A and B are shown apart, each in its own frame.
Chain A
Amino acid sequence: MPEVKASKPPKIKAAAKMKQIMSDHFYELDKAMKSKTQKIAWCTSVGPAELLRSMGFLVYFPENHGAILGATRQATDFIPIANSIGYSPEICSYLTSDVGAYLKKKTPLSQVYPGIESVPKPDILVFNTNQCRDVQDWFSFYAREFKVPIIGIETHRGVGEVQAAHIKSVADQMQGLVPKLEEISGQKFDLGELKRVVGLSLECSQLWRKVLETASAVPSPINFFDGTIHMGPAVVMRGTQVAVDYYKELLAELEERVKNKVAAVAGEKHRLYWDGMPIWGKLRPMAELFNSLNTCVVASTYCNSWIFDDFDPGDPFNSMARAYVQLFIVRSDEAKEKYIEDMVKKFKLDGIIFHDCKTCPNNTNARYGMPQRLQKRFGIPNIVVAGDLNDLRCYSEEQTKTVIEAFVEQLNK
């Protein structure tokens, strides 16, 4: 019997605008690099992008490039090159694929955006270890390659209740970045401008939250796989009017879908939660598989990681610090479990998929007994899928398909 083909899900119309935004973002960076008209800061995905933007930098996010390497299925070609110079296959495959691509002098940006020959060269590298230690190692590699300064923030990990001391520590570190940023940018720090940018980031974040929360409708108008694509502007353009305008448009489209009961997955029977990183090179087959099973992955930890409710333009440093310490990824298991339990209730979920991501332990929550504790605590069924964000050598397609299909069969009973 051939595999069942599911009916095609409707396309999100705002996608065309998002593509244009991403294109403009990369061409702007390329132009700045070539013309030397504006300084470029590389920043980790949940780093102090607002501060950088307020000080006149264009901001480039290597993790976004890592995701593009994964989604275009080029990562696995480049990872061995980084492995060969001492970066282990066991560490972050964003890092290894990005470093490998750099050493090979390749970037998928060249294939998508004619005229762009390389990623934009940095004037400064700014990390925040809230994602992991690997981002610091990753940026350190480029600091040596480009001979540019590297500065950053060391964030607390395993945080239970967020304390004033946590926030003060991160806020102080953020303020400590300012002198070096002034030196590189040639601009004096302007508190008013930071407040303006944080205000725009807050607005972007609030809209992105509303976009994701449309998925609490039954049927859901959007799924996790759509979310991983449409979060692009929230990652690379937060703190700009462009991102705000984009999410207003996307939200309006999704609210219209909710009103008309347009489902992201036709005949939605089951609603699931995805915890952990996406498997970037398998987004489409995964989306098709869930579609064929009438199962919608409606919510995720990953897409929610770019919601920063705590941003306050009136108190930018402390509120940025609070937002970046409230992040799921840096919290204790107890706080994470409470968060997931709230999500299960809010999105009316039937089960959880934990992605045990081989090279991303920080974004993996299946290794210290959490799935078992959650099942015991409130009876939510779950499965663990073994894979990786970028290294497809760590992923077995057939085994994963069987696990997901069997999970849906279990839910069907």
Chain B
Amino acid sequence: MMSKNVEKKYFAGIDIGASATKAVIIDEAKKIVGSHVCRSGADLAGSAQAAYDEALKQAGLKAGDVGLLAATGFGRNNFPAAHCTITEISCHSLGSFHYFPKAITIIDIGGQDNKLIHVDQNGCIMNFKMNRKCAAGTGAFLEEVAYKMDIPLEKLNGLARQSTQDVSLGSFCTVFTGTEILTKIREGKKKEDIIRGAFCSVARRIIEMDPLIGAVVLTGGVVAHNNILAEILGSVINKKVLVPPSPQLIGALGAALLVSAKKKQK
């Protein structure tokens, strides 16, 4: 179901995720002209509208200037203003391929789930996997770590960078890891080392999902706020991990690119 209003020069994508809602507006040259990230909260439609309004404001545009708007993410069906919906699997592929147009393995680490997507040299999805019904290795896991250690979430990255000793967290599940962290604290391990251990645990969960073939691209909110993860994952898989600009916006960008491409097909 697409709008007939396809002459306009701007396109929008809204990624309504489990933790954060992201809005991106692009122009005809596929350049991001406005974006915004906010918490998704309980009012998904309200959050999507707020993110969209802020992105429009940043771009100096009005809703009427945008030709087509696509919604993606967990709450994609909750935004009545969207002209179409598409899954975040497709959107992350489109967004990542936009920056790295070659065969890539995309790892998206979101608040609630992880996705691993293999894309071929033409940008087509070969296959994909999502984590099981378990938050281990996701943003929710890091939130739990921060909560258990009474450390603000935004400080995790900086503290992990001060680590001097490896602390391995072996548990397979978020709840058990929480208990394990308490044990490490009791053993007198430094918080910096424990936090780095938590990031290493996230990297290990990723490599269990599927083989990481070709160039590896890391996207999502977790790497956006914790760039140390790309370095840790790179050292685990022994290759450089690519991170696109604004990795948290890749899903929303993919959605905007989708509707922009649809316009061209008309």
Q: Taking beta carbons and an 8 Å cutoff, which residues of A are in contact with B?
A: 1-4, 356, 375, 381-384, 386, 394-396, 398-399, 402-403, 405-406, 409-410, 413
Contact = CB atoms under 8 A, between A and B. Distances in A.
Contacts of A403: 89, 130
A4 B80 CA distance: 12
B48 to A, nearest CB: 11
Interface stretch (B71-79, B146-154, B157-165, B221-229): B71-79
B130 A399 contact: yes
B80 A1 contact: yes
A409 B74 contact: no
Contacts of B85: 1
A402 B77 contact: no
Contacts of B71: 1
Contact of A399 (B79, B83, B133): B133
B94 to A, nearest CB: 11
Given A384-B129, A395-B133, A409 B83 contact: no
A1 B79 contact: yes
Interface string B119-150: 00000110111101100000000000000000
Contacts of A3: 77
B87 A1 contact: no
B1 interface: yes
Given A394-B133, A406-B89, A399 B80 contact: no
12 contacts: A1-B80, A382-B127, A383-B127, A383-B128, A384-B129, A399-B113, A406-B90, A406-B128, A409-B86, A409-B90, A410-B89, A410-B125
Nearest to B211: A372
B80 A2 contact: yes
A1 B124 contact: no
Interface string B207-239: 000000000000000000000000000000000
A382 B88 CA distance: 18
Given A1-B84, A398-B74, A399-B133, A375 B79 contact: no
Contact of B133 (A386, A406, A409): A386
Interface in B54-93: 71, 74, 77, 79-90
Contacts of A395: 133
A1 B77 contact: yes
A356 B131 CA distance: 13
A64 to B, nearest CB: 27
B124 to A, nearest CB: 5
A2 to B, nearest CB: 7
Contacts of B1: 1, 4
Contact of A409 (B79, B82, B89, B113): B89
A187 to B, nearest CB: 50
A2 B77 contact: yes
Contacts of A406: 87-90, 125, 128
B86 A410 contact: no
Chain A CB within 10 Å, residue with most, of B87, B88, B90, B129: B87
B115 to A, nearest CB: 9
Contacts of A384: 129
Contacts of B89: 402-403, 406, 409-410
A3 B79 CA distance: 10
A402 B92 CA distance: 13
Contact of A410 (B77, B81, B128, B130): B128
A374 to B, nearest CB: 12
Contact of A1 (B82, B88, B130): B82
A220 to B, nearest CB: 25
Contacts of A4: 1
A413 B124 CA distance: 7
A4 B77 CA distance: 9
Given A1-B77, A2-B77, A410-B125, A402 B133 contact: no
B123 to A, nearest CB: 9
Contacts of B129: 384
A369 to B, nearest CB: 12
Contacts of A356: 132
Nearest to B79: A1
Contacts of A381: 127
B52 to A, nearest CB: 13
Nearest to A388: B133
A413 B90 CA distance: 10
A4 B130 CA distance: 24
A12 B84 CA distance: 33
Chain B CB within 10 Å, residue with most, of A3, A383, A396, A406: A406
A381 B1 CA distance: 27
A212 to B, nearest CB: 28
A134 B81 CA distance: 51
Nearest to A387: B133
A375 B124 CA distance: 16
A409 B113 CA distance: 19
A381 B126 CA distance: 8
Nearest to A356: B132
A370 to B, nearest CB: 14
Contacts of B80: 1-2
Contacts of B133: 386, 394-396, 399
Instruction: State the 10 A-B residue pairs at the shortest beta-carbon distance, nearest first.
Output: A406-B89, A406-B87, A396-B133, A1-B82, A410-B125, A409-B90, A386-B132, A3-B77, A405-B87, A413-B124
Contacts of B77: 1-3
A386 B128 CA distance: 14
Contacts of A402: 74, 87-89, 130
B227 to A, nearest CB: 27
A375 B132 CA distance: 21
Given A1-B79, A399-B113, A375 B127 contact: yes
Given A1-B84, A402-B74, A402-B87, 8 more contacts: A1-B81, A1-B82, A2-B80, A381-B127, A384-B129, A399-B133, A409-B86, A410-B127
